Amino acid sequence: MTKTNRVSPRSPVSCLNRPSIMKLFNELIHSLPEGQVVHVNIGLHWTAVVVEGESGEQCGLASTLHDEHSHGIADIPDAGKLEGSDAFDLASYILEDGATKSSVGMATINALLPRKPNTWVNLNAEDVIAEKGAGKSVVLIGHFPFISRLEKKVGRLTVLELNPQPGDHPVSIANEVIPNADVVAITSMTLLNKTLNHLLEMIRPEATVIMLGPTTPLSPILFDYGVDLLCGSIVDDIQPVLQAIRQGANFRQVHKAGVHLVSIAKPSRS
């Protein structure tokens, strides 16, 4: 596997030579160990995939994106036949068209990624952004429930959201605010909707880039693409989490069912 090297702390890369989102997905897939799909749960808010590999069963999560429904067109063509399949086949869904297929693909990638507790700390995204953004300008891409607390802990907080809630700003102003930010925290939903590269193009080299959300793949490959900190999730209790997701749980409920939040920082160069 060939990784794209970047100059520390981070060099600006033009849109003509920045590695594409599809290259990122291919690198993630080719870094994965083998596994077999055990369970696939596509819930109202969250998708969970359980795989069986050398380390036993592992569960990965991703936000459930929904396609525009049309009678006679299946969001998941092989629905009912996914369990027992090769996990690589399901992980490759991330390369295909279809919002729900992207969710299944990313959940499978997250399930297959090796667990390396020695590389993470038990910190959630709110604490990480508050630490990095103290006294600084922060742009948060995606609406998160901790916003009201976070805005009291950082210098200035601007929230960009596709469907703005009160206090949020539309993503159409991204090119006005992102280039001036000291910290840019990007929802991992941008992996699912394939918009990450466009956002990375706007970030100045000195800024700290954080990817957050339970969908975040905890892989060092993201560091080669300009991300400095990964804030994601680890499923500890698989069956309670699957049950909650099947019953339409939001993340707060899924979290309580058996998930803990972790952060991984890009290794510093001496």
Question: Is residue 49 one of the residues assigned to a domain?
Answer: yes
Together in a domain, 102 and 145: no
pLDDT reading at 11 higher than 70: no
Together in a domain, 167 and 91: no
Together in a domain, 44 and 73: yes
Question: Is residue 239 one of the residues assigned to a domain?
Answer: no
Together in a domain, 193 and 99: no
pLDDT value for 9: 32
pLDDT reading at 19 higher than 80: no
Question: Is residue 257 one of the residues assigned to a domain?
Answer: no
Average pLDDT for 182-194: 97
Judge contact between 270 and 62, C-beta under 8 A: no
Strand partners, 140: 159, 185
Question: Is residue 5 one of the residues assigned to a domain?
Answer: no
Average pLDDT for 190-212: 95
Q: Which CATH number is 94's domain given?
A: 3.30.390.100
pLDDT reading at 1 higher than 50: no
Together in a domain, 176 and 192: yes
Average pLDDT for 160-178: 94
Domain span at 33: 23-116
Together in a domain, 109 and 167: no
Together in a domain, 131 and 166: yes
**Looking at the 3D structure of the chain, how many domains does it have?**
2
Together in a domain, 66 and 88: yes
Question: Is residue 241 one of the residues assigned to a domain?
Answer: no
Question: Is residue 132 one of the residues assigned to a domain?
Answer: yes
pLDDT value for 17: 41
Residue that terminates a domain, selected from 66, 97, 116: 116
Together in a domain, 59 and 39: yes
Together in a domain, 136 and 212: yes
**Nearest partner of 232 among 189, 269, 200, judged by Cα:** 189
pLDDT value for 46: 98
pLDDT value for 70: 64
What are the pLDDT digits (tens) for 111-147? 999 999 999 999 999 999 999 999 999 999 999 999 9
More confident site: 18 or 87: 87
Q: How confident is the model at residue 269 (pLDDT cuts 50, 70, 90)?
A: low
Within 13 Å and on the Cβ side, how many CA atoms surround 269? Answer: 8
> Angle 175-176-181 (CA atoms, 0-180°, nearest 5)?
95
* Euclidean distance between CA atoms 234 and 123, whole angstroms: 12
Q: How does strand 156-161 pair with strand 137-141?
A: parallel
pLDDT value for 167: 92
Residue that terminates a domain, selected from 55, 82, 116: 116
Question: Is residue 221 one of the residues assigned to a domain?
Answer: yes
Average pLDDT for 200-206: 94
Residue that terminates a domain, selected from 101, 116, 131: 116
Which DSSP helix (H) or strand (E) runs through 266? none
pLDDT reading at 224 higher than 60: yes
pLDDT value for 5: 31
pLDDT reading at 69 higher than 70: no
Question: Is residue 166 one of the residues assigned to a domain?
Answer: yes
Q: Which CATH number is 187's domain given?
A: 3.40.50.11590
Average pLDDT for 40-67: 95
pLDDT value for 20: 87
Together in a domain, 54 and 107: yes
pLDDT value for 22: 94
What are the pLDDT digits (tens) for 233-257? 999 999 999 999 999 999 999 999 9
Together in a domain, 107 and 144: no
CA dist list (Å): 270 to 8, 9, 36, 267: 11, 12, 40, 9
Judge contact between 47 and 103, C-beta under 8 A: yes
